Amino acid sequence: MRLIRSAALAGAVALALSACGGGEDIEAEAPEPVAAEEAEFEAGSTMAELSEAGEMTIGTKFDQPGFGLRGLDETPDGFDVRIAQYIAAQLGIEADKIKWVESPSSQREDLIVNGDVDMVVATYTINDKRKERITFAGPYYVAGQQIMVKKDDSTISGPEDLKANPDVKICSVTGSTPAENIREYLASPDQLVTFEVYDDCVTQLENGQVQAVTTDNVILVGYVAENEGKFKLVGEQFTEEPYGIGIEKGDTAFCEFINESLEKAAEEGYYEEAWKETAGAYEGTEVPELPELEPCA
C-alpha cells in the first residue's frame, strides 16, 4: 500500500468537503488567480469566445505528482493546473468553471485537433512533428529526462547501462517523447515497456516487472518524494524538454495571448509561488525562471 496514496485520497476528500461546506480554509494557501473582471478581446478570437462562454475545457495529466494529479474527486492540482488556471483567469474564467479532461501522452494532439479541449497543459514537450498538427505557446518550463530505479538497485546508474544489461526492462508512457528518446540507449526494443500512464509504470517498478522508469526529472522527483525511500534517480539529465501549451493549429492570437499571460504570471510572482506549492515542494527541485518564449508562428 502506498501510504501517500491514502493521504492524497484523504486530501481529496477534505478538499471536496471544504468546497461544499466552505467553512474550513484548507484551500486558503493555494493562490487563487483572480479572474480578470472586464477582459476585452477582439470579436471572433478564441479569447473572446472563451471569455464570453465563461468556461473552458483544459486537458492535463491526472497522474503526475507536482504537475497534474487528481484525487478521486474531480479537480486535479499541480504546476500545470496552476498555470492553466492563471491563463483561464486572464480570460475572466473562474477556477471552478474549468472542465478538466485527462490527456495521456498518446492522445494529446487528437484531443486538440478534435476540439475536445481548448488547450492542453500536460508536461507537453514542444517538438517539430507535433507542430505539424497543433500550435504551441510557451515554453513555460524546461525539463530534462532522467531514470528512476529502486533504491537498492546498483546495476543501473544511467542510460548507458541499459545496453549492457539486456534483461533490464524500462518503462515509460505509450507514445511519449521519453519513450522515444530512450530507444537509442536500448540493446533491443523489447527492453521498453509502455503503459498509458506513469502511475502504472511506478506500480510495475514496485512489482519488479520493470527495473527502471524514465521520463522528465520533475515528474520522477515527484514519485521519489511520494514513495518515501523506495526509489532513487540515477545519472544525469540526458535531454532538454521544453514544456509548451498545446492549442489548435494556427491560432496565433491565442498563442500570443497565452505567452503574454505567462510573462505576466512571472512578473506578478504567481509563477514562482505556484511552482513552490506544487512541483517545487519536492526535495531536489529548484525554482525555475520562465524560459525564453518561442515566437508564435
| Binding status of residue 296 toward other proteins by CB under 8 A | no
Q: Which of 177, 120, 121, 170 is nearest to 148 (CA)?
A: 170
For other proteins, the binding residue among 29, 38, 132, 292 (CB under 8 A) is: 132
**CB-based contact 34:89 (threshold 8 Å):** yes
Residue with cell 525555475: 288
For other proteins, the binding residue among 18, 45, 165, 204 (CB under 8 A) is: 204
For other proteins, the binding residue among 63, 77, 226, 241 (CB under 8 A) is: 63
By CB under 8 A, how many residues form the interface with other proteins?
55
For other proteins, the binding residue among 171, 221, 279, 296 (CB under 8 A) is: 171
Q: Where are the beta strands (DSSP E) in 127-240?
A: 134-143, 145-150, 170-173, 192-195, 212-216, 231-234
Cα 60 from Cα 180, distance rounded (Å): 21
- Nearest residue (CB) to other proteins, 129 versus 283: 129
CB of 4 to other proteins, least distance (A): 10
| Binding status of residue 10 toward other proteins by CB under 8 A | yes
Q: Where are the beta strands (DSSP E) in 151-268?
A: 170-173, 192-195, 212-216, 231-234, 241-248
| Binding status of residue 8 toward other proteins by CB under 8 A | yes
**CB-based contact 278:65 (threshold 8 Å):** no
Asked if omega into 139 is within 30° of 0 (cis), the reply is yes
CA distances (Å), 37 to each of 85, 186, 229, 261, in order? Answer: 15, 53, 46, 15
- Nearest residue (CB) to other proteins, 106 versus 155: 106
- Contact range with other proteins by CB under 8 A, out of 90-98, 109-117, 258-266, 282-290: 109-117
Residues that bind other proteins (CB under 8 A): 1-2, 5, 8-10, 13, 62-63, 71-73, 101-111, 113-116, 127-130, 132-133, 171, 174-177, 179-180, 189-190, 192-197, 199-200, 203-204, 207-209
